[in-house]
Amino acid sequence: MANVNTDTFLENNKKYASGETVHDSSHPGAQPINPAKHVAVVACMDARMDVEDILGLKTGDAHIIRNAGGVVTDDAIRCLIISHHLLNTNEIILIHHTRCGMLAFTDDLLKAGLEGDPAAEELIGKATGREFVSCNHSSATPDQFHAFRGPLEALDSPACDAQNERLTWDVRRSISRIMNHPWIPTEGPDASTVRGFIYDVDTGGLEEVSYPGPMGTFG
Ligand SMILES: [Zn+2]
Q: Could you tell me if residue 127 is inside a domain?
A: no
Quote the pLDDT of residue 219.
62
The model's pLDDT over 194-211, given as tens digits with 9 standing for 90+, comes to: 999 999 999 999 999 999
Say whether pLDDT at 24 is over 90. Answer: no
State in Å: Cα 199 to ligand 1 middle: 10
79 φ, ψ (degrees, to nearest 5): -65, -40
Domain span including residue 201: 13-22+33-102+172-209
Give the sign of the dihedral formed by CA 213, CA 195, CA 84, CA 52. positive
Q: Tell me 212's DSSP state.
A: S
State in Å: Cα 59 to ligand 1 middle: 23
State in Å: Cα 11 to ligand 1 middle: 23
State in Å: Cα 7 to ligand 1 middle: 23
Sheet with 193-199: list strands edge to edge: 62-67, 39-44, 91-97, 193-199, 206-209
Average pLDDT, the chain: 96
Q: Could you tell me if residue 201 is inside a domain?
A: yes
The model's pLDDT over 110-160, given as tens digits with 9 standing for 90+, comes to: 999 999 999 999 999 999 999 999 999 999 999 999 999 999 999 999 999
State in Å: Cα 26 to ligand 1 middle: 27
State in Å: Cα 140 to ligand 1 middle: 24
Quote the pLDDT of residue 21.
87
Q: Could you tell me if residue 219 is inside a domain?
A: no
- Is residue 60 classed as helix, strand or coil in its secondary structure? coil
Q: Could you tell me if residue 147 is inside a domain?
A: no
**CATH number assigned to the domain comprising residue 56:** 3.40.1050.10
State in Å: Cα 61 to ligand 1 middle: 23
Quote the pLDDT of residue 2.
57
Q: Could you tell me if residue 96 is inside a domain?
A: yes
Quote the pLDDT of residue 157.
96
Q: Could you tell me if residue 151 is inside a domain?
A: no
The model's pLDDT over 90-124, given as tens digits with 9 standing for 90+, comes to: 999 999 999 999 999 999 999 999 999 999 999 99
The whole-model pTM stands at 0.96
Q: Could you tell me if residue 2 is inside a domain?
A: no
Q: Could you tell me if residue 141 is inside a domain?
A: no
Split into its structural domains, the chain has a count of 1
